[in-house]
Structure 1
Amino acid sequence: MLYGEIPSSLGSCIKLEILSMGRNSFQGIVPPSFGSLRGLQELNLSWNNLSGKIPDLLVDMKSFHFLDISYNNFEGSMPTDRIFKNLSSALVAGNNKLCEGIPEMYLPTCNFKEPGNFEGSVTSVLYLLFVSWLRKKQKVSISSSSRNLLLNFLQSLLKATYGFSLANLLGVGGFRSIYKGVINESGTIIAVNVLNLLRHGSFRSFLVECEALRNIRHRNLVKFLTVCSSVDYYGNDFKALVYEFMVNGSLKEWLHPIGTENEVHQDQRNLDLFQRLDIDIDVASALEYLHYHCQTQIIHCDLKPSNVLFDAEMIGYLGDFGIARFSPGSNYNSSTTHSGTTGLKGTISYAAPEYGMGNEVSTHGVMYSYGILLLEMFKGKRPTDDIFQCTLILHSFVKIALP
């Protein structure tokens, strides 16, 4: 509900790193004083009534990681340097009087008479492909109408997460960053897992998880909504998996809450004995389904508290199938999903010891991880706790305490 011109006094906040002023009614131009914000990393001015040309000061920001000026009234030639070279870092959708810029933005030339009507931004050059084609491992061409539909979907994804801003970042895993998002039209809260494609093995992890989620449905497995795979003008990939958001977080957060001054919040993080039993049964039910009742046996390989999530009713859901394995007898391409006999499969202290000696993954290994999970839940100690040194490990610690 804020309106008027952006105060130039903000330029004196020289140590400012993140500034979000989106979804207001600010008018006028970006203050020249913003050129003093040399430490600014993120700037969100989207959904306002700002106008004029995109100022050079935004181009000169060397510290910029993310800029969102979408849905304003900016006009004139698009800059082509620094952050404006990166389609995933500079969002400019909804500024229909912008022109030229880098070729992959598909903006009109600056002598174009009619206002542009293309729903520009990063989505104007990202080609979304749904993962159904992954079964056949082949590229698919799509019609212009299908392309527009898919582009609109990614635009919704960007809006839902405010351009994958740090404020919406829930956590960072081995291959991915997880963002919270809200679909405005329906109010649905989602969790968007964006793959870090610069990390070795992330693409394979994406394929494995897609194949696993394509074939499984169970009340104690994370609710998978959709997937997107896109590529920009340079051939750089963008891949993300979209899940139903789990409002009560992970088992790790409940077992080992981060210290806070809010003692009431801490009290709410306590799990009684019966809740812990219910959670154990939820996880066991998911594992039973994966091992014995789904079409192709799936070995999870990374069972640990951070991969057990809770909905509003505190029902447990097993998630993260990025390093899952399919049984050797499955029809799925084992060269893509089976790791062979080398390398550790899972997380240290939760993975079965035999994996460290090169043994094949198995359901027995998963049940070892499940045992560690049980001991951690009922004793409240991580298997990596500082007290576990030399001969004292979680197993013996629990055995001593059992009487």
Structure 2
Amino acid sequence: MDGNFFQGTIPSSLSSLRGLEELYLQRNNLSGTIPEFLEHFEFLQSLNLSHNNFEGMVPVEGILKNATATSVEGNIKLCGGILEFKLPKCKIKHSKRGGLSLTMKLIISLICGVFGVIFALVFLYLHCSRRERMKEHTKSDSEKFLRVSYQSLLKATDGFSSINLISMGSFGSVYKGVLEQGETTVAVKVLNLVHRGALKSFASECEALKNIRHRNVVKVLSACAGFNHRGDDFKALIYEFMANGSLEEWLHPTQNIGDTNEKPRSLTFSQRLNIAIDVAMALDYLHHHCQTPIVHCDLKPSNVLLNDDMVGHVGDFGLVRFLHKTTSGNHSSSMGVKGTIGYAPPEYGIGHEVWTQGDVYSYGILLLEMFTGKRPTADMFHGSSNLHNFVKAALPEQVVEIVDPVLVQEILEGEMSANNLPNEDSVRIRIKFEKILISILEIGVACSAEFPGERLDVTDAMAEMCRIRNNL
């Protein structure tokens, strides 16, 4: 938690984390005294409280009596502690004799009473205002929900023209369109109802997306169910348009006719890291922060969409499953999971029911693909060979040989631009970059382990990826 803008004191609730081994709070704006409960952390091996605004006496027991494992420098108001800290001695303040006069006590009581009444009135006002705002918010959401018809979608997409076709999937096609309501650019997913399972996919997406609110999940704007111009059933979902397409298009760009002289677009290391974290945050939300845990079941690059700012959004909830709690644990609402070859976990192939660890496996494969540039279904993988084993066998010594050549080129260009730096600095930057790549690929390998019990939880994977980004 170092290098943030945390303020206030270290909360007493931290004392419950008795198994804590490392605690880094340096370079924040924390204040108050260093709590004594830190003395009683039996497993704490490293403590860094430097460069904050702590004050008062430093405790001298536990890890705080180990100068090599503890840092308190940069807190100019601290005193005492062990000699190695080189802090000034604490001045003992002598309390003045005598108490408050009766008049002063009455004045203080009166002031406290007045403030108590004011506080109660403010609390009631804020509570009532909040209820009103919630009502207005619900009303505004309802009013903002786009009302669309088949005719409006037909017009928005120029008759579902092939020019506006974005992608085609198992259950339907996605078109770019501009609705007349506010000239809103949208993505329209038209279900192919002839395809078996399309109707179920439509129902699953509606059920999943109606209650989801997260910056890394594609936002559904509306749905349309009716009849087309031929009188056939028509169902479509209207999504927020993602201007930069899918992650698949960036990882594996296709050369269009006439574009032979143009350099294929690619993602930088920083962009890949940010998108990987965006996807992890979306999965963490779906698995742990929805009223009913949601399993995506089909996480892959084509289902990760990028907006104008290259922020990753998880989309296509056609195979989603809901986990309902029972006395024997969480169970999915339906069976017969399909998923996609290469990304679906091995246990699904032998009939295991849907669970969040299946998404974790898919995330691990996605992470390995993002940083190696290799599809899990590439021709080089056959028999017992797969992307997971390929990366695992190469770590850590051969990391540069297996990562996406685009990233290797980025390293080389970075070194060329750093020619003005001393040679040892250039080498240090390269070594640091390689270590970061190793850490990322190790997370991907841990998430995509064959045996579910060996896989990370997505929350832990997300935390590790964020830690890597913060240390850049």
User: TM-score by structure 1 length?
Assistant: 0.58
Structure 1: distance between partners of 2:192 and 2:263? 33
Deviation at 1:328, TM superposition (A): 2.4
Structure 2: distance between partners of 1:373 and 1:266? 24
What residue in structure 1 maps to residue 62 of structure 2?
none
- Does the alignment pair 1:358 with 2:360? no
Structure 1: distance between partners of 2:180 and 2:375? 39
Contact between 2:304 and 2:312, CA under 8 Å: does it hold in 1? yes
Matches within 5 A, 1:37-186: 153-184=149-180, 186=182
What residue in structure 2 maps to residue 215 of structure 1?
211
Matches within 5 A, 1:2-401: 153-184=149-180, 186-231=182-227, 236-260=232-256, 261-262=258-259, 266-267=263-264, 269-329=265-325, 338-340=333-335, 343-401=336-394
Deviation at 1:253, TM superposition (A): 0.3
Task: Report the CA distance shift for 1:313/1:263 in structure 2 as closer, same or farther (over 3 A).
Answer: farther
Task: Report the CA distance shift for 1:223/1:271 in structure 2 as closer, same or farther (over 3 A).
Answer: same
Structure 1: distance between partners of 2:261 and 2:363? 31
Contact between 1:246 and 1:310, CA under 8 Å: does it hold in 2? yes
Structure 2: distance between partners of 1:265 and 1:222? 30
Q: Deviations over 1:186-214 (max 9, x none)?
A: 33211000000001111111111000011
Deviation at 1:307, TM superposition (A): 0.2
- Higher-Rg member (1/2): 2
Structure 2: distance between partners of 1:353 and 1:266? 37
Structure 2: distance between partners of 1:281 and 1:359? 28
Specify the code of the residue in structure 2 equivalent to 1:174.
S
Structure 2: distance between partners of 1:259 and 1:382? 18
Structure 1: distance between partners of 2:312 and 2:369? 16
Gaps of 5+ in 2: 1-145, 398-472
SS of 1:328's equivalent?
strand
What residue in structure 2 maps to residue 47 of structure 1?
none
Structure 2: distance between partners of 1:232 and 1:216? 29
| Structure showing the higher helix proportion among its residues | 2
Deviation at 1:168, TM superposition (A): 1.4
Task: Report the CA distance shift for 1:232/1:251 in structure 2 as closer, same or farther (over 3 A).
Answer: closer
Task: Report the CA distance shift for 1:384/1:232 in structure 2 as closer, same or farther (over 3 A).
Answer: closer
Task: Report the CA distance shift for 1:302/1:285 in structure 2 as closer, same or farther (over 3 A).
Answer: same
Deviation at 1:244, TM superposition (A): 1.0
What residue in structure 1 maps to residue 99 of structure 2?
none
Deviation at 1:272, TM superposition (A): 1.4
Deviation at 1:401, TM superposition (A): 3.0
SS of 1:182's equivalent?
strand
Specify the code of the residue in structure 1 equivalent to 2:287.
H
Specify the code of the residue in structure 1 equivalent to 2:342.
S
Contact between 1:307 and 1:318, CA under 8 Å: does it hold in 2? yes
Deviation at 1:385, TM superposition (A): 0.3
Deviation at 1:400, TM superposition (A): 3.1
Task: Report the CA distance shift for 1:295/1:315 in structure 2 as closer, same or farther (over 3 A).
Answer: same
Contact between 2:153 and 2:179, CA under 8 Å: does it hold in 1? yes
Contact between 1:345 and 1:361, CA under 8 Å: does it hold in 2? no
Specify the code of the residue in structure 2 equivalent to 1:165.
S
Contact between 1:208 and 1:323, CA under 8 Å: does it hold in 2? yes
What residue in structure 1 maps to residue 460 of structure 2?
none
Identity of aligned residues (%): 58
SS of 1:242's equivalent?
strand
Structure 2: distance between partners of 1:308 and 1:368? 16
Structure 2: distance between partners of 1:153 and 1:237? 13
Specify the code of the residue in structure 1 equivalent to 2:193.
L
Contact between 1:344 and 1:356, CA under 8 Å: does it hold in 2? no
Structure 2: distance between partners of 1:210 and 1:300? 13
Gaps of 5+ in 1: 1-148
Q: Deviations over 1:315-337 (max 9, x none)?
A: 0000000110001239xxx99x8
> What count of residue pairs does the alignment treat as equivalent?
247
RMSD: 2.4
Specify the code of the residue in structure 2 equivalent to 1:308.
V
